[in-house]
Amino acid sequence: MDAVTGPGPGGGGKGAVAERRADCVASASGELRFTLGDPAAALVLRLRGSGTEVRLPVSGPTAVLPVTAALAEGRWDAYAEPADGVRERLTPGLCDLRGLVDRVPDPDAPVTVRIPYATTRSALSLAVWHRSPHAEAGEVTVQGGRITVAGRLYGARLSASATLEARTDTWYALCPAYVNGTCFTATWHTSAVPAAVSETLPATLGLRPAPDAEPVRVARLLDDIARKEQVFVYPALPLGPSRLRIGYTPANELALRIT
Amino acid sequence: MRISFLLHYGYGIGGTIRTVFTLARMLAEQHEVEIVSVFRHRDEPVFDLPPGVTLRPLLDLRAGGADHGHPDLDRPSRLFPRGESRRGQYSALTDRRIAGWLRGADTDAVIGTRPGLNVHIARDARPGVVRVAQEHATFLSHPWPLKLALSAHYPLMDAVVTVTEADAAVYARRLRLPGVWLGAIPNAVPAPQLPPADGSSRIVIAAGRLAWVKRYDRMLRVFERVVRVRPDWQLRLYGDGPWRDRLHVQIEKLGLYNHVHLMGAAHPLDAEWVKGSVSLSTAQLESFGLSIAESMRCGLPVVAADCPYGPGEIITDGEDGLLARNGDLDGLAARLLRLVEDDDLRVRMGRRAVENVARFDPERIAGRYDALLTGLRARRHGRLVGPALGGVYAATMAGRRLRAWTP
């Protein structure tokens, strides 16, 4: 009944492993090197929700995405394009992302992040961010009715009057940030957040380096984890009849949520 | 030789499935190999089916599958032994399908991969077929009704294969298995396809099902002690399971949410091991400890609770890892801190780990199975025609003796 057999000797058979696979190695600089299992003319990256494409030539079995390649923020789906045939979605093989753990970005260049990951349908995609300035979230402490966020700002200077703010359409909360060089720490008391609001939308956090500067979104980008939502989970605080919780959005931005 | 593995579930993720696929891959280079999965709940197996190996389900329980909602699924099994942890999933339908397959199977050797299936094989495998019982748990971890069933059925097997010497010794002590080959063949652990860890990261990694037996509650308390001294280190925990929510609560209570992360299930795990520089196990029962051996092949030294039976047989204490008494949390924390604080020691032990666990290479392990099956097949063949041959032999010898006496 429904017996399947693995590919015959010599490989290339269309058995249970029919997909086109790409291995991937990330270097600490952020460069990605793909190795394709089957020959292809190009590796095509396609920005989800738009038609934008980037073609990477394949030489031998290898395609390289340099740090300098301009990729807009978002999720990019990876395809293999054979010389004659139809484009096929790639599946991730072995992705060696140890180079991305504890990344320290070049202080003079925009923060460029590309994290390969497997989609829920086991296809290869890249989570891409490109930010300047960028506020990288560090430790978050939730204790005694207070939420403390620590982080580091890249690509802009912090002034002594920097603030951290949370904002949605219906509410707004702000607290001063304590600055030490490029590092900042900011603490909210739950009293700063209006308890009566029933708001399911997350309020993303913005760091305003100086009173007259635009807020910089606080996100956690400099590692190997494409989706932080489930991995970085912080305790909730009671807030009137509801609860206040800090956490990451699907785009890995730090946000407050009232539930 | 045609070799069939009888597996509870071949489409999921887990130690037994992984090791059976690895062994099948190697044996398929010389033999015709099939994996028979009692159940099928999904379309494709998680692990790649090795080249030339056939995967065949006995019950198709996918939504819309042939056996979905079959009335006999609710009638209890008569053959699957009581006390087997998977008994709830077996039924009158599995009884019929497994027995039917065993009686008709066109194969030379059947390898059972859990006690309940081994009982099936002992009852119903055809006379000429070599019967091998693999024990992926341990004898002492089985409840008594199952021990009783095994003591009645394992004498009918050709071989009982445990994964540790210690467990084989227990079988030898507790069961009478005359004429049955009894011994340990460890799990096969493939070499990783990427360079080993270099010991430079500040990540401790543990992997396994989030279940009580792994004692992650203890692991968190151990790591809390380490974080107090070295807050720059983190613990990543790979796997999923029923304890997930409970662990989240404990992580919050201990204030470890910046240092301990539940990463979810990951596959392939090798790509995750190499991001770490120490592997940690607090399981209080580990029949083999596949993830311990895998992490060592990836270059990580291991800190482990010396529980029955795997860790002590995989790790060489002080050389490629550090063992603490099972349940001694201070001891575990002290050993983990020693590796966290001493970069040279960590790197040295990681290198030794890679060398030492090469003994679990699939080629060597498959070689041992190959020799075992070939030997058993010759013996069983001998036993089958034995009575007839024995009669001829006896008559011939009697004739010779008679002749010798005749002056």
* A216 in Cβ contact with A133 (< 8 Å): yes
* B342-B345-B347-B348 Cα dihedral, nearest 10 degrees: 170
Residue A94 contacts B where some CB pair is shorter than 8 Å: yes
Task: Name the residue with higher pLDDT: B299 or B18.
Answer: B299
pLDDT value of residue A16: 38
- pLDDT digit string (tens) for B58-80? 999 999 999 999 999 999 999 99
- Give the one of A1, A95, A233 whose C-beta lies nearest to B271's C-beta: A95
pLDDT value of residue A10: 41
* Minimal CA separation from A11 to chain B, in Å: 8
E strand or H helix that includes residue A183: strand A183-189
Q: Which of B66, B320, B50 is nearest to A13 (CA)?
A: B50
pLDDT value of residue B407: 41
CA distances from B116 to A70, B127, B148, B346, B348 (A): 58, 20, 12, 42, 43
Which residues are registered as beta bridge partners of B226? none
Phi first, then psi, for residue A45 (nearest 5°) are: -105, 135
Which residues in chain B are contacts of A91 at CB distance < 8 A? none
Residue B342 banded pLDDT, cuts 50, 70, 90: very high
Contact B49 A140 (CB under 8 A): no
Of the spans A236-240, B17-21, B300-304, which averages the highest pLDDT? Answer: B300-304
Distance from C-alpha of A141 to C-alpha of B252, rounded to nearest angstrom: 11
Model pTM score: 0.87
Q: Which of A98-112, B200-214, B291-305, B330-344 has the lowest mean pLDDT?
A: A98-112
- pLDDT digit string (tens) for A209-220? 999 999 999 999
Distance from C-alpha of B375 to C-alpha of B369, rounded to nearest angstrom: 10
Residue A197 banded pLDDT, cuts 50, 70, 90: low
Q: What is the mean pLDDT of residues A182-191?
A: 91
CA distances from B315 to B104, B166, B303, B318 (A): 43, 14, 9, 9
Contact A8 B52 (CB under 8 A): yes
Q: Which of A123-137, B29-43, B214-228, B381-395 has the lowest mean pLDDT?
A: B381-395
Distance from C-alpha of B117 to C-alpha of B133, rounded to nearest angstrom: 9
Residue A121 contacts B where some CB pair is shorter than 8 Å: no
Contact B263 A233 (CB under 8 A): no
- Give the one of A139, A141, A230 whose C-beta lies nearest to B264's C-beta: A230
Contact B52 A5 (CB under 8 A): yes
Distance from C-alpha of A246 to C-alpha of A205, rounded to nearest angstrom: 10
The residue of chain A nearest to residue B192, with distances taken between CA atoms, is: A94
Collapsed DSSP state (helix, strand, coil) of residue A257: strand
Query: Does residue A155 have a pLDDT over 80?
Result: yes
Query: Does residue B350 have a pLDDT over 50?
Result: yes
For β-strands B109-112 and B130-135, DSSP reports them as parallel
Distance from C-alpha of A78 to C-alpha of A124, rounded to nearest angstrom: 6
* Minimal CA separation from A211 to chain B, in Å: 30
Is-cis flag, bond preceding A133, omega within 30?
Answer: yes
* B272-B274-B275-B280 Cα dihedral, nearest 10 degrees: 80
Amino acid identity, position B273: W
Amino acid identity, position B108: D
Contact A7 B57 (CB under 8 A): no
Query: Does residue A198 have a pLDDT over 80?
Result: no
Q: Which of B290, B286, B76 is nearest to B167 (CA)?
A: B286
pLDDT value of residue B7: 97
Collapsed DSSP state (helix, strand, coil) of residue B339: helix
* A224 in Cβ contact with A231 (< 8 Å): no
* Minimal CA separation from A48 to chain B, in Å: 24
Extended strands (E) in B154-270:
159-162, 181-184, 203-207, 234-238, 260-264
Residue B15 contacts A where some CB pair is shorter than 8 Å: no
- Give the one of A3, A8, A13 whose C-beta lies nearest to B55's C-beta: A3
Contact B49 A2 (CB under 8 A): no
* A212 in Cβ contact with A168 (< 8 Å): no
Which residues in chain A are contacts of B195 at CB distance < 8 A? 96
Residue B97 contacts A where some CB pair is shorter than 8 Å: no
Instruction: List helix spans (H) across B281-361.
Output: 290-297, 310-314, 329-341, 343-356
Question: Domains of chain A, with CATH numbers?
Answer: 20-131 (2.60.40), 134-258 (2.60.40)
Among B275, B294, B298, B300, most A C-beta atoms within 10 A, so best to mutate, is: B275
Distance from C-alpha of B71 to C-alpha of B95, rounded to nearest angstrom: 14
* Minimal CA separation from A99 to chain B, in Å: 8
Residue B401 banded pLDDT, cuts 50, 70, 90: very low
Residue A18 contacts B where some CB pair is shorter than 8 Å: no
Q: What is the mean pLDDT of residues A182-203?
A: 79
**Rg, chain A, Cα only:** 22
Contact A3 B194 (CB under 8 A): no
Residue A230 contacts B where some CB pair is shorter than 8 Å: yes
- How many C-beta atoms surround the C-beta of residue B37 within 10 A? 22
Amino acid identity, position B325: R
Q: Which long-range contacts (CB under 8 A, 24 or more apart) does A29-33 make?
A: A29/A67, A29/A99, A29/A106, A30/A67, A30/A100, A30/A103, A30/A105, A30/A112, A30/A113, A30/A114, A31/A64, A31/A65, A31/A66, A31/A67, A32/A64, A32/A65, A32/A114, A32/A116, A32/A126, A33/A62, A33/A63, A33/A64, A33/A65
Percentages of chain B per state (helix, strand, coil), in multiples of 5: 45, 20, 35
Which residues are registered as beta bridge partners of A135? A153, A218
Chain B, 60 to 79: residues with Cβ < 8 Å from chain A are: 60, 66
Residues with Cβ < 8 Å from A84, sequence gap 6 or more?
none
Contact A11 B194 (CB under 8 A): no
pLDDT value of residue A195: 63
Phi first, then psi, for residue B143 (nearest 5°) are: -70, 160
Among A19, A23, A101, most B C-beta atoms within 10 A, so best to mutate, is: A101
Q: Which of A207, A129, A137 is nearest to A167 (CA)?
A: A207
Q: Which of A32-46, A85-99, B391-405 has the lowest mean pLDDT?
A: B391-405
pLDDT value of residue A251: 94
B345, with CB counted inside 10 A (0-12, 13-18, 19+), is: middle
Q: By percentage, how much of chain A surpasses pLDDT 90?
A: 64
* Minimal CA separation from A8 to chain B, in Å: 5
- pLDDT digit string (tens) for B257-308? 999 999 999 888 999 999 999 999 999 999 999 999 999 999 999 999 999 9
Task: Name the residue with higher pLDDT: B288 or A190.
Answer: B288
* Minimal CA separation from B161 to chain A, in Å: 26
pLDDT value of residue A180: 94
Q: What is the mean pLDDT of residues B113-123?
A: 97
- pLDDT digit string (tens) for B147-167? 999 999 999 999 999 999 999
Question: Domains of chain B, with CATH numbers?
Answer: 2-188+376-383 (3.40.50.2000), 203-356 (3.40.50.2000)
Residue B388 banded pLDDT, cuts 50, 70, 90: very low
pLDDT value of residue B406: 44
Residues with Cβ < 8 Å from B175, sequence gap 6 or more?
B139, B150, B151, B154, B155
- Give the one of B28, B203, B261 whose C-beta lies nearest to A232's C-beta: B261
Contact B252 A140 (CB under 8 A): no
Residue B393 banded pLDDT, cuts 50, 70, 90: very low
Instruction: List helix spans (H) across B175-304.
Output: 216-229, 244-253, 270-273, 290-297
Residue B370 contacts A where some CB pair is shorter than 8 Å: no
Among B11, B38, B49, B98, most A C-beta atoms within 10 A, so best to mutate, is: B49
Contact A101 B262 (CB under 8 A): no
E strand or H helix that includes residue A187: strand A183-189
Residue A8 banded pLDDT, cuts 50, 70, 90: low
Distance from C-alpha of A34 to C-alpha of B235, rounded to nearest angstrom: 29
